[in-house]
Amino acid sequence: MSELIKIAPRIEESKYQHKPVVALESTIITHGMPYPENVETALEIEEIIREIGAEPATIAIIDGKIKVGLSRDEIKELAETDQEVKKVSRRDLAWVTSMGKYGATTVAGTMAIAARAGIKFFVTGGIGGVHRGGNNTFDISADISELGRTPVTVIAAGAKAILDLPLTYEKLETEGVPVIAYRTDEIPAFYSRISGIKAPIRLDTARDIAKLVAAQESLEIDNGILVTNPIPEKDEIPADEINPEIIRAVKEAEDKGISGKDITPFLLDRIKEITEGRSLEANISLVKNNARLGAEVALAHKQFLA
């Protein structure tokens, strides 16, 4: 493996002992949530994964080295450093490592590294997708093409509601990505449990999801799988409440000329302000919920290993 990738000894040890490892991204820490909720949440989701019996591996770039399995101190360092921390997608990996900079990996960036480190499961909040108006701007997250090319199973609360969800799921279909909805007939929409989009595949147990992952492996279909897990009911923001706020934030981004990789962090932050923190609470709740399911699936997958 590349000398630019440093795998923590506890992760190597877990792999050696066939203990399941669950990857975690770091853009959600540096660009997705404010301080100190970002650090608290990052550490809490690691705990949730450990309690279920899997090993968490948060991935980020520190001083030009890609670290798989950050320590608690490194997670704090990433959130607290005075250095600029780049948002790192697949295209940025070579640049940020070669310049010796700090970087937080997105879903696409994390998947690319997880696959190289032999990690098969990855938990996040929501994936990127086709932005609203993306049919004109071509702003389609690299998360989509990564799912189309890298064999990692991503557990998320769906694509983020700030996106054009129907177009996002069309693209995922084109990329050949199995999209599973957990215990629901509709794909969830991040802050809310429903999207109006019928789930292509509904599965009701972690075991059935793990079995699908094993079948995909057996067939050597080497692209990603997306598991969508609805936010817990008590923390849901119903679609008709959050949608007008999203439309407002998208309009503001347009007026300010914000585009490219800055748009997702801008929208998440504005929606948090507009909803007076309610969207942040929802985001924290859904990531924890995904951590639980992701660890359960990773554990269940063990029984299907040849």
Reference 33, options 124, 112, 117; nearest CA is: 124
Q: Is residue 199 marked as binding? A: no
Please give the angle made by the CA atoms of 144, 149 and 152, to the nearest 5 degrees. 85
Active site residue 281: no
Kindly state the smallest distance separating residue 177's Cβ from ligand PSU, in Å.
Answer: 15
Reference 115, options 68, 161, 78; nearest CA is: 68
For tokens 């960036």, what's the residue? 109
Q: Which of residues 203-222 bind ligand PSU (CB under 6 A)?
A: none
Torsion of CA 80, 82, 83, 84, to 10 degrees: 80
CB of 159 closer than 8 Å to CB of 132: no
Reference 153, options 298, 25, 19, 302; nearest CA is: 298
Interface with ligand PSU (CB under 6 A), residue from 261, 270, 272, 292: 261
Q: Segment near ligand PSU (CB under 6 A), from 5-13, 91-99, 140-148, 231-239?
A: 140-148
Q: Is residue 251 marked as binding? A: no
Catalytic residue of the set 67, 101, 160, 288: 160
- Residue 86 binding ligand PSU, by CB under 6 A: no
User: For Mn ion, what does the binding mask look like between residues 132 and 151, x meaning CB under 5 A?
Assistant: -------x------------
Closest residue (Cβ) to Mn ion? 139
In the bound state with ligand PSU, the residue whose beta carbon lies nearer, of 109 and 151, is: 109
Interface with ligand PSU (CB under 6 A), residue from 153, 168, 264, 289: 264
Reference 99, options 78, 114, 85, 112; nearest CA is: 85
Active site residue 19: no
Amino acid residing at 175: E
CB of 226 closer than 8 Å to CB of 190: no
Interaction site with ligand PSU (CB under 6 A): 25, 27-28, 31-32, 106-108, 124-126, 128, 141-143, 160, 261, 264, 268, 283
Active-site amino acid positions = 25, 160
Residues tagged in the binding site annotation for substrate? 87, 107, 141-143
